[in-house]
Amino acid sequence: MRVRAAVLVFMAVIAVPVAAQWNVGLEINPTHYRGSSRAATDSSGPTRVRPADATTFGVRVDRAIRRVRLGVQVSYATVGLTAAAPKLSLTDKSSGEVFEGQLLLNFQVAGIGSSGAVRMELGPSLHLWKAESESRSRAGGVAAVAYEWPVTNRFSGAIRLEGMLSKSWFDPGDLPSELERQVTWRYGIGLGVRYRL
């Protein structure tokens, strides 16, 4: 009896159309970093040192489970460093790269028209920042709001506003004494395309 029940459950699972379950997509996202450090004392030097603004390129896979989607997004960017003072900012764009992974819970907030939708995403993220021969990892959290609309029967477009928060990307001893570490945060508006399998 248990074997028959297991076979029936298995047949029901594989009978569900794959198109209703999986989506894959690509995303490009100009991102802006803030935080990471700030001036602890008055000085004539930089008041902030932070990761430089960058453009991330991402690949995502998600699966619909009833009304929510569970997804993974992996992205890459070349990220330098910016030293900012009140009237001057200097950026070195050749100093590092970032690999990022996000585990996302995605759910619809509102429908727009007959087929468009506003969706919310929340989840943890992990960043691997490589600068020259050194690498370090940072865990954080990500939240995003996306508008998705159909382009063809299987393709859809997406505009996604994303925010991320993690602890400072700098370790103790990385910064001059007049700067102190603070949380790193990032925001960006990405454009993506999704394909329903």
The pLDDT score that the predictor gives to residue 8 is 45
The pLDDT score that the predictor gives to residue 165 is 92
State the 10-residue block means of pLDDT for the chain, 197 residues long.
46 45 92 81 69 91 88 91 76 82 90 82 91 82 93 91 89 76 89 91
| Rounded-to-integer distance, Cα 49 and Cα 36, Å | 7
CATH class of 18-196: mainly beta
**186: its two tokens:** 């990032």
Given the structure tokens 């100093």, which residue do they identify? 95
| Domain range annotation of the chain | 18-196
CA dihedral 147, 150, 156, 158 (to 10 degrees): -20
The pLDDT score that the predictor gives to residue 43 is 62
The pLDDT score that the predictor gives to residue 42 is 65
Q: Amino acid identity of 63?
A: R
First-to-last alpha carbon distance for the chain, in angstroms, is 34
pTM of the full structure: 0.75
Q: Which of 23, 37, 8 lies closest to 180, judged by CA?
A: 37
The pLDDT score that the predictor gives to residue 4 is 54
**158: its two tokens:** 């997406």
